[in-house]
A and B are shown apart, each in its own frame.
Chain A
Amino acid sequence: MPDQPNVINRPPGVCVPWEEKKKELPPIVGDEQLVKRIWEENDGLAYVYIWQLLLSF
């Protein structure tokens, strides 16, 4: 299970770091920066979700 607590270093704004996700993917033969950016943008929304639940709701 890739999501073991206390193993992954999650800085602010991140739930599943790109470096972790990339290990699960086949070789990226296209534009890696594009894949990375979209991953990080969506991942950031998951971060917003949990921290806004804690702070605002």
Chain B
Amino acid sequence: MAKDTEQLYQQRLKRYTTAMRNEKPDMVPIRPFVAEFVAKYAGYTCQEVTQDFNKAFVATRKCCADFDWDAAVANMVYVWAGIPQAVGLKYYQIPGVGLDKNVGFNYLEPEEGKSFMQQEDYDELIADPTGFLYNTWLPRASGDVVARGQPTSFRNNMSFVKGAMSMMCYFSAFGPQIQAMRTECGTVSAIAGILKAPMDILADKLRGYMGLCADLMECPEKVKKACEALQPHLLHVASTSSDPSNTVPIGFWMHRGCVPFISFDHFNNIFWPTLKPIILELWKRGKQVLFYAEGKWGAHLKTFAELPEKSIVFHVDRDDVFEVSKVLGHKFCISGGIPNFLLAYGKAQEVRDHVKKVIQGVTRNGSYICDASAIVQNDATIENMKAMTEAAREYGTY
């Protein structure tokens, strides 16, 4: 390892972690969550980086080597298609398979009434979440796994062997990838571990959003009990998949738990009371959480401000980054706020101007990490990503 690469890594790590603790680093860190953009930059198709995670790893490292980024996700095209394929999962559309090879993968929301969990299944989920997932959810979500009570099959047996071995293969590859980012590029791996809110999980993979909406009106107590039953498991997964040294935060992917997807009552009585204890417990264990607030969460900023100082990093997607900074910047580091449409369709000078405006506005209230608003796909231009990076360096010195 070149000594200067390790020095660069240490410098970037200090910059990134200092900002996340809402303190002033030497300059604004740059931490873009680049997904299919890495394929575009490295000359791969979306199909290649989605189906061959080694190509995604190589493309990520190529970007890290060429762009002056402090931190990046080891593979933001996180859903390696090999696993859903091995398990027979029905809910993804993969580039190159019934979808243009240059389009990012899609999550297919189940049709109304055909979700993988039905309203009458709540009691089973509440009584035994893990048993429910294996016995009821997986046979419905997979085309290969046989339902309980039905004759088994070769494909059923293979789905567990192939699914488990492919997951082990994929997860085991992250250690060397993170180490290579460090030694080849001096780039920090930005996050570790995964958290989703109990109610979001109900909407995403179990009841579907439409199913959840019906349940919130027809059986809100069941929804709350289900969220309470999921809570300790989501805490466990977040904690055990996190960085053991508590240096980088847990990625918390926020989907449809905000107004107007749900009402204030449902947010205040179900979503937040079943999420907040997880965040508090993680913080008690020294684990910071990155709130990746996809969409608009502006209606709930004052609620998030209840959390302990420095316990989270708040990432801004479609909200007004200046408003978010005013409400949360005194307690938490803010990231994001560079619109993806600007990175895709704007001119480089417009990107530079916007980055300057955000840095100058947001850093008045606290620390800031420069990033696009949402995950960067292959619509962002290379010129604009360079402009964002250069402007963050030019205007980001404290």
Contacts and interface: CB of A to CB of B under 8 A. Distances in A.
Chain A bound to chain B: yes
A13 B240 contact: yes
Interface stretch (B129-137, B312-320, B371-379): B129-137
Contact of A51 (B83, B84, B133, B163): B133
B261 interface: no
Contact of B134 (A6, A48, A50): A50
B127 A6 contact: yes
Interface string A41-55: 000010111111111
Pick from A10, A14, A57 the residue with the most CB of B within 10 Å.
Answer: A57
Nearest to B83: A57
Nearest to A4: B131
A48 B172 CA distance: 14
B357 interface: no
B128 interface: yes
B195 to A, nearest CB: 8
A6 B131 contact: yes
Interface in A1-53: 3, 5-6, 8, 10-15, 45, 47-53
A55 B196 contact: yes
A48 B84 CA distance: 15
B130 A47 contact: yes
A34 to B, nearest CB: 22
B89 interface: yes
Interface of A: 3, 5-6, 8, 10-15, 45, 47-57
Interface of B: 78-79, 83-84, 87, 89, 124, 127-138, 141, 163-164, 167-168, 194, 196, 201, 205, 232-237, 240
